[in-house]
Amino acid sequence: MSRLFMFEKPLGMRDTLPELYEKKHHVRTLMEESIKQWGYRFIDTPTLEYYETVGTASAILDAELFKLLDKDGHTLVLRPDMTAPIARVAAARLLDNDTPLRLAYSGNVYRAQQREGGRPAEFEQIGVEYINDDTVSSDGEVIALLVSSLQKAGLSQFQVSVGHIGFAQELFIQILGTNGRATALRRFLYEKNYVGYREQVNSYSLSSIDKQRLLQLLELRGGEEVIGKALDIIEDGYGKQSLIQLKELWEVISDYGLEEYVKFDFTIMSHMSYYSGILFEAYAGNVGFPIGNGGRYGLIEKFGKDASATGFAVRLDRLLEALGSQDVLTTVECIFFSQERRKEAFQLAESLKAEGKKVVLQDINGVKNLDAFTKKFANTTFLIGGANQ
Amino acid sequence: MSRLFMFEKPLGMRDTLPELYEKKHHVRTLMEESIKQWGYRFIDTPTLEYYETVGTASAILDAELFKLLDKDGHTLVLRPDMTAPIARVAAARLLDNDTPLRLAYSGNVYRAQQREGGRPAEFEQIGVEYINDDTVSSDGEVIALLVSSLQKAGLSQFQVSVGHIGFAQELFIQILGTNGRATALRRFLYEKNYVGYREQVNSYSLSSIDKQRLLQLLELRGGEEVIGKALDIIEDGYGKQSLIQLKELWEVISDYGLEEYVKFDFTIMSHMSYYSGILFEAYAGNVGFPIGNGGRYGLIEKFGKDASATGFAVRLDRLLEALGSQDVLTTVECIFFSQERRKEAFQLAESLKAEGKKVVLQDINGVKNLDAFTKKFANTTFLIGGANQ
């Protein structure tokens, strides 16, 4: 065990200094305001949950969980996502009378890192969960809200890729027969390893038509026209139903006037076992990972209530990366005072603050390096010495 | 080990439902705005810190720390306070050029609970740290900012009790001679056990004059006049210097015009070893514990920089308790639609949101219990069926 330097932080843990804090706060507030305008209500859940309940429901890999033991021998986890805790709260306390429930959150989640990481072990997610409404309208709403809130946050160049968990799944079963062989292909899609996918498909002994169908899946990306192409390679059944849902979704998105932000991508696959329908990922041109993702899931059932839900989560750190270096301008002025004119300084500061200004009041005796300090301010006033100076 | 019910949360962990969330958000925002207006800049630090560095510096009892092990065998803690992490960041990255530094924070801290607890194991603190300025003006500023931000948050009935770590300490040493005997009396003061304090004093074999001096300490509460009374029982030395500081502090507070919110209380004592000067506690009439506290401390030195600091922390949960049941009014309206008039509904919602309203868009087919659902809204509009209805 190495000795720690006094300033060291645990692996993947980061400080947020003033400039970044202000930018984060600004973007978070814009997202939150937008989400509230759509009638979603924010809730918060604890940082620590039981592993047995929320920890196992969350579908984050076990190795990525921060675990600790409580005094009764139960394992606690730092919440790895917000969807599972919100499913717990909704099932325990908020779902009633068979009515739809629109919830939102803004909070930190935790993922333990390996030594070779470099990724954050703690990051902030803003998201919504639209619970107990299984219409395609509700899937459309969360996608439209994702687009709308990203726009409000200042993002202009981005794309939401929409797929359906049922399409590829059904196609694989129709062609490969077993879930085991389907799993291998699913993993390649999840890892976005399309070369590996092609090699895997070519290694199967299948008719050339079936191989062609599996390879054509990779081409199913684009606008409304993709649905027609998808219909050509799938037989009747759940796979076809998923296309009917996606067609309706496109109409909903069109009624919102947001077609330019949305495209279909039938290769989207989630490692999360709980997705059960439409699912999507949001990308901004310059960021290598999705800035947000979501979809329909059946997780609430694990907490004993029969309710489907749909939602999205945006990673604030990646959204900030996508937004680039737009600085939030903070103008602060400084009034220096000495004892004789202290009261006058306090009154001047009050009146400037009443105008909405940010004002530092500084006892001149408290500053050792006046030159360096005055440089920090947009404006400085000196109320020093005799009152009638 | 008992089996867990699916909805259970770890001891002391709480959910925040929409009504409370909105109230918290509202009060937090008012406090933050106020703090920013005084030129303080917010920063954030990780939830997890190393026990060896920040954990041991934080001066929270070891039994109250949530601990876990990382992959290299180091112990991590969930941060028990914000002052120690901010001292780390300030020393490592922000202190420069011998200039004062005004930082603020708003974040959750963690205290492990015993079974008999009932107290929160996770709670939110909002506070400031004014670093590298050792004038009494800076102590006065943080007290004035505490008062001002509590007022802005809507609190009217409260009091800040101000003392000095040096006065009682010096009095005890002057009379009792040893630190050991002083420690016993300090503990009674910290626990606000004045009966115990009196008994302890009477058990000492001291001159009646010295006993009287120790007992008079308990009477040193009130306005400016208390300083004169305190001068009567202390001999020259550090204790007298602390009175000079408090006298100057009173003048600063008077120049802010905040005398009515501040009183002296020489019995205030902290269990935290790092306080080194003026210290204070804020009380609101109906809450049994301080809603905030603070003072001058030398903690930055533990991180290798020679800088004194002063600051305060407010507990948001206790502030909300003090504010009572003022609800934040949220008015949301609902537009119900069917497919035929979906686009019209979306457009109506857009125009209402542009006016700043909160609007839920609801596919009528997604609601099983329409009566229960409509009751949740201030206003409802139905755009259902043929377009020319």
Q: What is the pLDDT of residues A340-386, one digit of tens each?
A: 999 999 999 999 999 999 999 999 999 999 999 999 999 999 999 87
Q: What is the DSSP letter of A18?
A: H
The DSSP result for A104-142, as a single string, is EEEEEEE----TT--S-SEEEEEEEEEES--SHHHHHHH
Element spanning A198, H or E: helix A194-203
Contacts of residues B180-188 at CB distance under 8 Å and 24 or more positions apart, as own/partner, are B185/B214, B186/B269
Please, what is the Cα angle at B64 between B84 and B10, to 5 degrees?
115
What pLDDT score does A204 carry?
92
Phi and psi at B191, nearest 5°, equal: -85, 0
Q: How far apart are CA A266 and CA A227, in angstroms?
A: 10
What pLDDT score does B8 carry?
87
CA distance A246 to chain B (A): 15
- Asked if B50 is an interface residue toward chain A (Cβ–Cβ < 8 A), one would say yes
Q: How far apart are CA B327 and CA B22, in angstroms?
A: 9
- C-beta atoms of B14 and A362 within 8 A: no
Phi and psi at A21, nearest 5°, equal: -60, -45
Q: Among A339, A375, A334, which Cα is nearest to A357's? A: A334
Per-residue pLDDT reduced to its tens digit, A42-55? 999 999 999 988 88
Residue by residue, pLDDT tens for chain B (389 residues) are 567 777 888 889 999 999 999 999 999 999 999 999 999 999 999 999 999 888 888 778 888 899 998 888 899 999 999 999 999 999 999 998 789 999 999 999 999 986 656 789 999 999 999 999 999 999 999 999 999 999 999 999 999 999 999 999 899 999 998 888 888 899 999 899 999 999 999 999 999 999 999 999 999 999 999 999 999 999 888 889 999 999 999 999 999 999 999 999 999 987 666 788 999 999 998 888 999 999 999 888 889 899 999 999 999 999 999 998 776 677 999 999 999 999 999 999 999 999 999 999 999 999 999 999 999 999 999 999 875 54
Residue A253, pLDDT > 50, answer: yes
Phi and psi at A97, nearest 5°, equal: 50, 25
- C-beta atoms of B38 and A360 within 8 A: yes
Q: How far apart are CA A297 and CA A274, in angstroms?
A: 5
Test the A interface: residue of B82, B99, B136 with most A CBs within 10 Å: B99
* Interstrand relation of A358-363 and A332-337 (parallel, antiparallel or unpaired): parallel
Give the nearest partner residue to A39 out of B15, B91, B358, using CB atoms.
Answer: B358
Structure tokens at B195: 């009966």
Other Cβ atoms within 10 Å of A271 Cβ, number: 12
What pLDDT score does A345 carry?
95
Contact A295, A280 (CB under 8 A): yes
| Terminal Cα-to-Cα distance of chain A (whole angstroms) | 63
Q: Which residues in chain B are closer than 8 Å to A134, comparing Cβ atoms?
A: 366
What pLDDT score does B115 carry?
64
| Residues counted in chain A | 389
- C-beta atoms of B135 and A366 within 8 A: yes
- C-beta atoms of A44 and B93 within 8 A: no
Per-residue pLDDT reduced to its tens digit, A298-332? 888 889 899 999 999 999 999 999 998 776 677 99
Residue A388, pLDDT > 70, answer: no
Please, what is the Cα angle at A96 between A92 and A100, to 5 degrees?
110
Q: How far apart are CA A186 and CA A179, in angstroms?
A: 10
What pLDDT score does A61 carry?
82
Structure tokens at A180: 């085991």
Q: How far apart are CA B187 and CA B302, in angstroms?
A: 24
- Asked if A207 is an interface residue toward chain B (Cβ–Cβ < 8 A), one would say no
- pLDDT band, residue A138 (cuts 50/70/90): very high
Contact A226, A266 (CB under 8 A): yes
Q: Which amino acid is at B165?
A: I
Q: Which amino acid is at A346?
A: F
Q: Which amino acid is at B28?
A: R
Q: How far apart are CA A9 and CA B79, in angstroms?
A: 12
Give the nearest partner residue to A362 out of B45, B100, B372, using CB atoms.
Answer: B100
What pLDDT score does A71 carry?
80
Q: How far apart are CA A224 and CA A246, in angstroms?
A: 9
Q: Among B202, B220, B203, B222, which Cα is nearest to B212's? A: B202
Test the A interface: residue of B5, B9, B54, B353 with most A CBs within 10 Å: B9
Q: How far apart are CA A123 and CA A318, in angstroms?
A: 10
Q: Which residues in chain B are closer than 8 Å to A109, comparing Cβ atoms?
A: none
Kindly report the average pLDDT of chain A as a whole number: 92
Contact A331, A346 (CB under 8 A): no
Question: Average pLDDT for residues A145-166, to the nearest whole number?
Answer: 96
What pLDDT score does B389 carry?
45
pTM beyond 0.90, yes or no: yes
Question: Average pLDDT for residues A122-139, to the nearest whole number?
Answer: 97
Q: What is the DSSP letter of A157?
A: S
CA distances from B131 to A135, A386, B41, B299, B310 (A): 56, 28, 12, 10, 6
- C-beta atoms of B100 and A50 within 8 A: no
* Interstrand relation of B122-131 and B292-297 (parallel, antiparallel or unpaired): unpaired
Strand order in the sheet with A332-337: A358-363, A332-337, A379-383
What pLDDT score does A389 carry?
45
Q: ipTM score of the complex?
A: 0.92
Structure tokens at A213: 């169908």
Q: What is the DSSP letter of A16?
A: B
What pLDDT score does A115 carry?
64
Q: How far apart are CA A136 and CA A246, in angstroms?
A: 8
Q: How far apart are CA A50 and CA A271, in angstroms?
A: 22
- Asked if B123 is an interface residue toward chain A (Cβ–Cβ < 8 A), one would say no
Q: B314-348 burial, b if ≥16 CB within 10 A, otherwise e?
A: bbbbbbbebbeeeeeeeebbbbbbbbebbbebbeb
Q: How far apart are CA A278 and CA A256, in angstroms?
A: 18
The angle that helices B179-190 and B194-203 make with each other, rounded to 10 degrees, is: 160
Contact A60, A80 (CB under 8 A): yes
CA distance B237 to chain A (A): 24
Strand order in the sheet with A309-315: A41-42, A101-110, A122-131, A309-315, A292-297, A275-284, A158-164, A262-265, A221-222
Distance from chain centroid for Cα A24? 14
Question: Average pLDDT for residues A234-258, to the nearest whole number?
Answer: 93
Share of chain A above pLDDT 90, in %: 75
Q: Among A332, A30, A372, which Cα is nearest to B35's? A: A332
